[in-house]
Amino acid sequence: MTSIPFNKPSVGQRELDYVAECLRGGKHSGDGPFTRRCHEAFRAMGLGRTLLTTSCTDALEMTALLLDVGPGDEIILPSFTFVSSANAFALRGATLRFADSGIDDPNISPEAIEALITPRTKAIVVVHYAGVACDMDRIGDLARHHGIAIVEDAAQAIDSYHRGRPLGTIGDLGALSFHDTKNISSGEGGLLLVRDEAMQQRAEIIREKGTNRSAFFRGEVDKYGWVDVGSSFLPSDVLAAYLLAQLERIEEIQGRRRTIWDVYDRALASRVDAYGVRTARLPDWATNNAHMFYLVCADLPQRQRLIDGLRAAGISAASHYLSLHSSPYFHRFHDGRSLPNSDHYTDTIVRLPLFADLTDAQADQVATHVLDILSA
């Protein structure tokens, strides 16, 4: 049987043409014409003030710099997330306060956030797991009441919304990913979203090694120098050329991903519960960008049987995050609180192959094997 990979980036002729055009044009470093065209595309998508970055990790690290996070500050974030959500603030010396996921979905629990807020809380980091929005109404109310910033880790959330608002634009700062496992890709890449205009100006400086170089090239200053802390967060314009082609194909790519998600949903949603397994739940405030189709198994042994059985059939499926509060690095700093929901998702989530070039027949094949393995 033909092997079905977990992920395969979608690359069309337009990506090849734009990269070749960039290479011929001679402007390969950051903030070239393709970067500018990407920023225009993001504005057209309703994402507001944006800055293309080398990765979502770097965009998150920029949020920590923009919020002046430092020792003594506390950051509340989910334990069930990728390490970049935590590293961005750990690097600034902040105290990480991991919150549990909800019972019904892997997103951070508003109740868990509220229990962790102290006078030293500097920011709440929300992660929109699988591109499905957290409960931003309740989290927003908490943040406003306590005067706390919100950072949206929207790495998986391109083309996804909370009550009609694009994810990443609701908090004070947001970050998107264009890693090749994401819906829209540049191989490696990210995006910083900034709601406040004054913060946007500082973000531009931080992104350019702490200099006002961008203002210099716009003719706003007669020379540029070191005016703030920063680093080199600009991606090559070659990557921006690749990304622009993806953005121009977003309806095509997303259409295919949603079709595949629907194939899985029709085949599995009403049948896996007989084996103690459930599919993702979509709250009424959220849209589905088809970033991921995952199953929540009954326990770890069942999850492992499913992954092993699919692998034996030539199908690559994957578990996901190890809860950060019990990670080899952080467990010695954890305050000992039990985070049962986060640990449950660590042990039970399995992600099925989902990419634009997957055929309906292949998705049906995957679903059939899932049911065969569960019923064995």
* Residue 190 near residue 56, CB atoms below 8 Å: yes
CA atoms within 13 A on the CB side of 220: 9
Distance (Å) of CA 318 to CA 6, 56, 59, 74, 351: 7, 21, 26, 32, 5
Q: How many C-beta atoms surround the C-beta of residue 198 within 10 A?
A: 8
Q: Return the bridge partners of 161, or none.
A: 166
Token digits for 96?
A: 């990480």
Tens of pLDDT, residue by residue, the chain (376 residues): 559 999 999 999 999 999 999 999 999 999 999 999 999 999 999 999 999 999 999 999 999 999 999 999 999 999 999 999 999 999 999 999 999 999 999 999 999 999 999 999 999 999 999 999 999 999 999 999 999 999 999 999 999 999 999 999 999 999 999 999 999 999 999 999 999 988 999 999 999 999 988 776 777 777 789 999 999 999 999 999 999 999 999 999 999 999 999 999 999 999 999 999 999 999 999 999 999 999 999 999 999 999 999 999 999 999 999 999 999 999 888 999 999 999 999 999 999 999 999 999 999 999 999 999 999 9
Tell me the C-alpha distance between 16 and 9, whole Å.
13
Token digits for 252?
A: 């095509």
Report the side by side order of strands in the sheet with 349-351.
278-279, 294-296, 349-351
Which domains are assigned to the chain? 13-248 (3.40.640.10), 250-375 (3.90.1150.10)
Residue 2's pLDDT is 58
Task: Find tokens 């996901």 and name the residue.
Answer: 320
Tell me the C-alpha distance between 127 and 120, whole Å.
21
Q: What is the pLDDT of residues 117-166, one digit of tens each?
A: 999 999 999 999 999 999 999 999 999 999 999 999 999 999 999 999 99
Q: CA 82: distance to chain centroid? A: 9
Q: Please state the three-class secondary structure of 291-320 as a single string.
A: CCCEEECCCHHHHHHHHHHHHHCCECCECC
Tell me the C-alpha distance between 124 and 121, whole Å.
8
Q: Which residues are catalytic?
A: 182
Tell me the C-alpha distance between 164 and 7, whole Å.
28
